[in-house]
Chains A and B, each alone.
Chain A
Amino acid sequence: MSKIKSLFDSRSFKSAFIPYFTLGDPNYNDSIEFGKTILDNGADILELGIPFSDPVADGPVIQRAVARSLKNPFSFEEIFRVTKAIHDHKPETPLVYLTYFNPIYHCGISKFLDRAKESGIVGLVIPDLPFDTEESEILFQELKVRDMDLIHLVTPASEKKRIQALSKTSSGFIYYVTSFGVTGERREFSVDLKERIKFLKDTIQLPICAGFGISTPEQSNQISQYADGIIIGSAIQRIIEENGSDRTKAVLALADYISKIRASIS
């Protein structure tokens, strides 16, 4: 059984908290500290972003984070080293990678997955790899033999037929994109968000976690009433952006924010 499935099967929370941040922003060693802080303050699953030069599904905050990260010399060795350090700090918390497909393809799917698994990664989210591609099918099979998950995105525009088709090569949880557009904080969500998540729960037998645009404890609390998980990226990245030059300050701000969100959905 995958680590993510067992987490949701034996859940001790109302809604899982799934924070995200980009590795290497502002540098790889600080990422280790940020990861540890986030784990200590209440992440149920942690999404680690592997920077890619052209993040088309991301809004300005994460784009800037990626640009800052890529100012450091990029290497998979660094990515895996940092991942392992974060994993070793709290091995029971599942870690997943969020990245675009090109770096994985370039590294070589098998090689990438072997190294990712060794570093403590249990699943992947790839915004530009739709499930109905040959590469996605290959990736799903490769992940399955390693007991790892392929987490697909579903959007407000996804039709029932597509969601049903997607369930065959999807595992872990569904990343439900709450609104149109790219990642980034938003004040309001679509009026039918609750109905849409209920529809997804009736259509696909996986936990439904909501992301894109969520930033405040109030929003998290509200959405946790009907979603199995809350994914937050840009708001966390903004804290790193604003405080990143001072590691201690950034760690304190992250701890405060993460614990508030965790409390809002418990």
Chain B
Amino acid sequence: MGKNLPGYFGEFGGRYSPEILTEALEELESTYQKLKKSKKFKKELEYYLKNYVGRPSPLTYAERLTKLWGGARIWLKREDLNHTGAHKINNAIGQALIARFMGKKRIIAETGAGQHGLATATVGAMFGMETIIYMGAVDVERQNLNAKKIEMLGAKILPVTAGEATLKEATSEAMRDWALNVSTTHYIVGSAIGPHPFPTIVRDFQSFIGTEARAEFKKRNHKLPNAIVACVGGGSNSIGMFHAFLKDKQVAIYGAEAGGLGSKPGEHSATLTYGKTGFLHGTKTLIIQDEFGQIVPAHSVSAGLDYPGVGPEHAHLSQTGRVDYRMVTDEQALDSFLEVTRVEGIIPALETAHAFHVARDVAKDLGKKKDLIICLSGRGDKDVTEVLRLLGERSK
């Protein structure tokens, strides 16, 4: 495998995982290549996306936000309206279909905010597969509603207590489980991270977001939007949103990453701003690490962005300058969360709230008669308890 082979995005990507997983990754790659060309698979995937997930998700014109922000017209790509409340289900269904095709009866997943765990538990229930979800013990606590839902769906949550007990540790533990049970189990990686072919597979299953948004916007407005914005942790909703627009040079693309509490190591998850090239969880990408190559714990108010790495394609898009990645602090995200909730009657996920903050600045810069689409990656019911706690702390 070299830089010019599939699996690399510029210098990033590739396959840097333990040898025990290699055969499974090769099987996954060849199966996916075959299924991608299969009309039957495409039809089946589209069937579930339409009849189970509720796709295509609508593009909502956010009239009140547009007025309030006083700049470009704001459009929302409503992934929050998907079954299970976020974009994660698109990928979970796609990968569960691949797992079924490969004859694997057990699926595992890592989860931070719980949305990917919830999506995986949901498809596990629907397809009748044994489902194990690895979740950091800290995240089980702060995303308790999702943890409870996952268990209600019949999946088993294995809380991970190592290290910071968040998404990074959950991902490591899921990889270990896969290494042990590789012949019976498929690991549904939830973000556009991991060893090849995962970043490509996840991107492809999420690219419905951008493809639909682009087509609907064009149909309604007879032009393309001027800008699009999405939040980036591992980066699955954003790569799904961005992909259809990458060749449209007139469309400006913005990513919002978690600036957390500040710029010091351990205070943020701003990989694209502060990360350096390295190797983590099977991929070569930008990583928040110290001077010795030890991974530094990440922080974000949103469990879904609390990860010290980023999908390799984002690392590449950042390096080439095609996407403008900006940091949003915990406080700014919280403010945007409240603003969107009150102004539009939509409670966004705390992850998505980061995208709204960037979008407000971009909308002002663009000015009137321009158009901006925000990927509303998920709904924020899961965050209500945490937001109330933070507001309580703020008022002290």
Contacts and interface: CB of A to CB of B under 8 A. Distances in A.
Contacts of A101: 16, 279
A134 B3 contact: yes
A102 B289 contact: yes
B392 interface: no
Interface string B212-250: 000000000000000000000000000000000000000
B275 to A, nearest CB: 12
B279 A128 contact: yes
Given A130-B15, A130-B22, A155-B19, A182 B280 contact: no
Given A75-B292, A102-B279, A105-B279, A182 B22 contact: no
A263 interface: no
Contact of B22 (A59, A63, A75, A162): A162
A128 B22 CA distance: 11
Contacts of A13: none
Main secondary structure, interface of B, reads: mixed
Contact residues on A (Cβ < 8 Å of other chain), bracket = 35 or more
B280 A54 contact: yes
Nearest to B295: A53
A76 B292 contact: yes
Contacts of B163: 53, 67
Interface string B12-55: 00111111101110000000000000000000000000000000
A252 interface: no
Contacts of B261: none
B1 A128 contact: no
Interface residues of B, number: 38
Interface in B281-306: 281-282, 287, 289, 291-295
Interface string A126-142: 01111011110000000
A54 B19 contact: no
Contacts of B162: 63, 67
B181 A180 contact: yes
Nearest to B277: A105
Interface in A169-219: 177, 180-182
Interface stretch (B168-176, B201-209, B381-389): B168-176
A8 interface: no
B180 A182 contact: yes
B18 A70 contact: no
Contacts, number: 118
A157 B22 CA distance: 8
Contacts of B280: 54, 102
B396 to A, nearest CB: 33
A106 interface: yes
A63 B162 CA distance: 9
Contact of B293 (A105, A134, A162, A181): A105
Contacts of B23: 155, 157-159, 162
B19 A158 contact: yes
B251 interface: no
Contact of B176 (A107, A134, A153, A181): A181
B19 A133 contact: no
Contacts of A134: 1-3
B292 A154 contact: no
Nearest to B177: A181
A152 interface: yes
Contact of B182 (A105, A152, A157): A157
B263 to A, nearest CB: 20
Contact of B175 (A56, A75, A130, A177): A56
B102 interface: no
Contacts of B277: 105
A186 B287 CA distance: 34
Given A134-B2, A157-B23, A182-B179, 5 more contacts: A102-B287, A106-B293, A153-B19, A153-B20, A181-B179
8 contacts: A54-B280, A56-B172, A56-B175, A63-B162, A106-B291, A107-B292, A129-B279, A155-B22
Interface of B: 1-3, 14-20, 22-24, 162-163, 168, 172, 175-176, 179-183, 276-282, 287, 289, 291-295
